[in-house]
Amino acid sequence: MTSNKQLAAIQNAFDGIALLDENGIYQFMNKAHAQLFGYDSVDELVGQSWKFIYAPEYADRIEHDVFPMLNLKGYWSGETIGISKDKKPVLQYVSLTKLPDGGLICICRENLNSITAAKLQYLMANLGKSILVEDEYHKIVMVNNQFCELFKIPSKPQDLIGADCLEALCKALPLFKDPTLVMETFSAVADKRDTVIGHEVLLADGTILERDYVPIIIDNTFKGQLWSYTDVTQNRQLQRSLLDAKNRAVASEKAKSGFLSNMSHEIRTPMNAIIGFAEQLSFTALNPEQAFFVNNITDAAGGLLGVINDILDLSRIEAGKMNIEKEVINLRQIIISVENILKPKTEEKGLQFTSVVADDIKDRLFADEVRIRQILINIVGNAIKFTETGAINLMVDLTEENDHKQFLAIVCKDSGIGISNDSIARVFDEFFQESHDSDHRSNGSGLGLAITKTLIDLMGGVITICSEKGLGTTVTMKIPFELVTDDELIIEHNPNEELNLIAGKQILLVEDNKLNRLVFKMMLSNMKADVDEAENGLEALDKLRESTYDLVLMDIQMPVMDGTSALQIIKKIYGDSIPVIALTAAAFNSEVSHMLNLGFSDCITKPIDQKNLQTRLYQFFKNGSAKEKYYQKIEMEILANINEMAGGDVTQASKLIGYLLEELVFSLAEWEKSLEKRDWNAARTILHREKVMIKSIGITGFDGLISEVEDDSVPKTDSELILMYSQLTDLLKILKARFSH
C-alpha cells in the first residue's frame, strides 16, 4: 500500500481518527472526526486543544481520571461526552493510544447505546437540578456539583461518593428554615418509599426548594433512592406576585360588581315605590293638571330607570356577564307592543309611524325577547327623539333562509336631523352624543347604540347606520333567528284572563321595606288577590304556620331572617308544597339562575309595574314554576352540545348524556361523603376532577359557580360551601333523572 492509499483510507474511515501532539493539540484528523462534533471542515479543529470539544468541568475530569491511566498503560478506551459546534452533547466511544513521542492517536465513534453511567453523569451535571443518589445503606452513589453548591458542601462531587448520606444531611441541617421538620419529613418519606414529587422545602435564607424523592426498586428489592432539589424561589415569587395581581384584579372586579348590584338594589327599591305609586295614582280620578303631573313623574321615573338599566347593561358587558337567552318569540307581536309603548311619543310630536313585517317571517322564532324589545325601543326611540317632522318606518324583511334559521333585516328609517359624516363612525362609542341641542342630549345616556351593537354582536348579527345631515337616518340590523322545530305554542291571552286566574289567590307578601310592601299590596289587591303581609322571613314562617297560601312572594335582603334562609326552612318543613317566588333587585342574569338553583319557583326583579307583575303571576299560576323552563333551557343547551359531538343523532346523544350524567352522579356520591365530613380539600379535588366532565357535557351555566368554589381569594363559610356544592349535585341529579326518561 502506498502512503497515499493509507492516507485515503484514513481520510475515508467511518470512525473519527485524529493525531495529537504531546501538548494535546490536534495535528491531523479525518473528516469523520470533525463531523462527529458538527464541524464541516477539519481546519476548524486542527491546531486546537482536545479541550476545545469538551465542557471545562468534563475536561477536568478526563485529565483527572483518564490521563493517569493512559500514562500508566499506554492506552485507554471508554465513553466520553463532548460538546458539538452547536453546543449539543456528543456521546462517543473513544480509544486513545500513546505514541513514543508523547503524542496521541484518538479513534472515536458515536455512542448510540442507551444510557450509560457516563451519560447519566453528564445528565446529572447538566440537568439544572441538585441531585443525590444513595444506595440502600445510605451511602452516596452519585451527586452533582449543584447539590454541593446548594448545600454549601466544601467537597467535590467525586469525593463524596461512598460518604454517609445521613451524616451529610445532619451537617446541612442548619441551612434549613425548620431543621426538625426537615428531619421528620426526610424520615417519613424515606420510610414510606413512595415517590414524592414537588414537596416544598424552605431554607433559612428564604430560598424555596422543590424536592422530588424517587425510590430505586429493582426486582422488587430496594436498591437506594434519589433526592432531587430545584430552586423555585424566583418562580414562586413570580407566581405569588401574579396571584396577588390576579386577586387584586378579582377583588376590584368583585367590589365593582358588588357596588353595582348594591347600587342597583338601593336605587331600584325606591324606584319600585315611585313607579308603583305613580301608577296607582294614575288609576284614581285626577283633574287634568294632576294627570299632567303624574304623567311627568312616570316619564321621568321611566327615563331614570332607563339610564340605570343602561349603566347596569354596560357593566354586565364589561364583566362578560351579558347573556342572550333563547326562548320562543313572536316578532310581530313584539313590534306591535313596541309601537304601543312609543305611540304616545310619536303622537305628541305629530310624527307618522308605520311598521311592516314581511309575511314569510315565521310566527315562532327563537330569540331573547327582552333584548329584542330593548334593541327595537332603542333604535325606534332614537328615531323619534331625533325627528321633529315627517315619518318613521320600521320594516322587517326576510333576506335568507335555511333549514335552521331565518336571516332577517330590521330597518328603521326616519326623516330626522341625521348624523354628520364625521360622527357616524363614532355613534357606537360609549357615551357618544352628537347633538348639542339640550333637548336631545338630556334625553339619553349615549349608551343606547353601544349596548345595542353588543347585543346584536352577541346574537351573531350586524348593525349599520346610513345617515345624511338634515335628511334622516336609516338603521339596518341583520340578525339570524333560529327556527322553532317543536310544537311549542305561544299561548295568547288577554288581561281579563290574567285577572281571572289571579283573583282570589292567597298570597303572602314578605318584604321589609314599608313603601314597597304598600305598593305590592295595592297592586295585588287590584288583581283581587288575597294578600297577607310579613316583614321578614321569621314572621313569614309564623304566618305559614297559621294559614295556607297559594304563593309566597319573598324579598331576599331582609333583617332578622333573609329570604334565602326562610326558603330553606320552608323547604324543610313543607317540601315543595308551598311555592316561593323571589323578589329581588337582581342586576345579573346569573343572580336569577342562582335564585332558581336555590329552590325559588321564580324570580321577579324589582322595580316592576302592575301590568308586568300581573303577567308574571299569571304565567306562574298557569304554567307552574319557572324552574321547569329553566331546566328545559339547560337541557336544550346540553343536547345541542352533545348532539354536535354525536354527529346529529339525537337518540344517541340523549343516551350518551344519560350515561355521562349517571357516571357523574355516581362519582359524586364520593363527593357527598366528603361534604358530610366537611373535608373541603377532598370535595375540591373531586370537583377539580369532575369539572372537565361537567364542561364536556355542556353544563356551561356552572362555570361561574365552579370558579367561585375554587377561588381562594374570597373566604367562604361552611354553610356557603355546602350550598354551592349542593346546588351542583342537585342539578346533576335532576338532569340525570330527566335524561333517563
**Contact residues for ligand ADP (CB under 6 A)?**
378, 382-383, 386, 414, 416-419, 427, 432-435, 444-450, 473
For ligand ADP, the closer of residues 447 and 728 by Cβ is 447
Parallel, antiparallel or unpaired: strands 462-468 and 472-483: antiparallel
Nearer to ligand ADP, 346 or 473 (CB): 473
Rounded to the nearest whole angstrom, what is the least distance from the CB of residue 620 to ligand ADP in the complex? 34
**Closer to ligand ADP at the Cβ: 378 or 536?**
378
Q: What's the distance, CA 602 to chain centroid?
A: 27
Q: Three-state DSSP class for 707?
A: helix
How far apart are CB 410 and ligand ADP at their closest, in Å?
14
Q: Rounded distance, CA 381 to CA 345, Å?
A: 9
Distance separating alpha carbons of residues 452 and 450, to the nearest angstrom: 6
* Residue 306 vs 698, nearer CB to ligand ADP: 306
683 in Cβ contact with 710 (< 8 Å)? no
Minimal distance, residue 333 CB to ligand ADP, in Å: 24
In this complex, which beta carbon is closest to ligand ADP, that of residue 351 or of residue 427? 427
Q: How far is the CB of 669 from ligand ADP (least distance, A)?
A: 53
Residue 466 or 665 having the CB closest to ligand ADP: 466
Contacts for 504 with CB less than 8 Å, ≥ 6 apart: 528, 529, 530
The DSSP secondary structure of 433-468, one letter per residue, reads -----HHHHTT--S-HHHHHHHHHHHTT-EEEEEEE
Cβ distance to ligand ADP smaller for residue 277 or 428: 428
Helix axis angle, 610-623 to 626-645, nearest 10°: 70
- Closer to ligand ADP by Cβ: residue 224 or 444: 444
Nearer to ligand ADP among residue 427 and residue 551 (C-beta): 427
Q: With respect to ligand ADP, which residue has the nearer C-beta, 208 or 419? A: 419
Residue 133 near residue 140 (C-beta atoms within 8 A): yes
Q: Nearer to ligand ADP by C-beta: 379 or 578?
A: 379
Residue nearest to ligand ADP (CB): 444
59-65: Cβ within 8 A, 24+ apart? 61/158
Contact predicate 331/369, CB 8 Å: no
Q: Look up residue 592 and give its three cell numbers.
A: 336569577
Which one, 377 or 541, has the nearer CB to ligand ADP?
A: 377
- Label the pairing between strands 221-231 and 130-135: antiparallel
Looking at the Cβ atoms of 454 and 584, the one nearer to ligand ADP is 454
Q: Cα separation of 656 and 485, whole Å?
A: 22
Closest residue by Cα to residue 77 from 105, 45, 51 = 105
- Provide, rounded to whole angstroms, the least separation between the CB of residue 446 and ligand ADP: 4
Q: How far is the CB of 279 from ligand ADP (least distance, A)?
A: 25
Whole-angstrom Cα distance, residue 194 to residue 638? 42
**Residue type for 645, please?**
M
Least CB distance to ligand ADP at residue 515 (A): 30
Residue 95, C-beta contacts closer than 8 angstroms, at least 6 positions apart: 75, 76, 77, 106, 107, 108
Question: Min. distance of Cβ 562 from ligand ADP in angstroms?
Answer: 37
CB of 342 to ligand ADP, least distance (A): 13
Within 8 A by CB and 6+ apart from 428, the residues are 449, 450, 453, 463
Least distance in angstroms from the C-beta of 423 to ligand ADP: 7
- CA contacts within 13 A on the Cβ side of 30: 18
Q: How far apart are CA 608 and CA 515, in angstroms?
A: 14
- Closest CB to ligand ADP among residues 98, 453: 453
Q: Which residue(s) pair with 94 in the sheet?
A: 78, 108
Q: What is the residue-wise DSSP string for 366-394?
A: EE-HHHHHHHHHHHHHHHHHT-SSSEEEE
- Which of 59/427 has CB closer to ligand ADP? 427
CB of 447 to ligand ADP, least distance (A): 6
Least separation in angstroms between CB 384 and ligand ADP: 9
Give the shortest CB-493-to-ligand ADP separation in angstroms.
Answer: 33
The full DSSP string for 200-239 is EEEBTTS-EEEEEEEEEEETTEEEEEEEEEEE-HHHHHHH
The three cell numbers of residue 236 are: 414562586
- Measured torsion, CA atoms of residues 20, 26, 32, 36, in degrees rounded to the nearest 10: 110
Comparing CA positions, the residue from 175, 162, 120 lying closest to residue 144 is 120
**Checking DSSP bridges between strand 327-329 and strand 221-231, what pairing results, if any?**
unpaired
The closest alpha carbon to 131, from 225, 233, 236, belongs to 225
Q: Name which of 445 and 625 has its Cβ closer to ligand ADP.
A: 445
CB contact set of 211 (below 8 Å; sequence gap of 6+): 196, 198, 199, 200, 201, 227, 228, 229
Nearest approach in angstroms of CB 129 to ligand ADP is: 60
| C-beta closer to ligand ADP: residue 90 or 383 | 383
**Cell of residue 323, nine digits:** 347573556
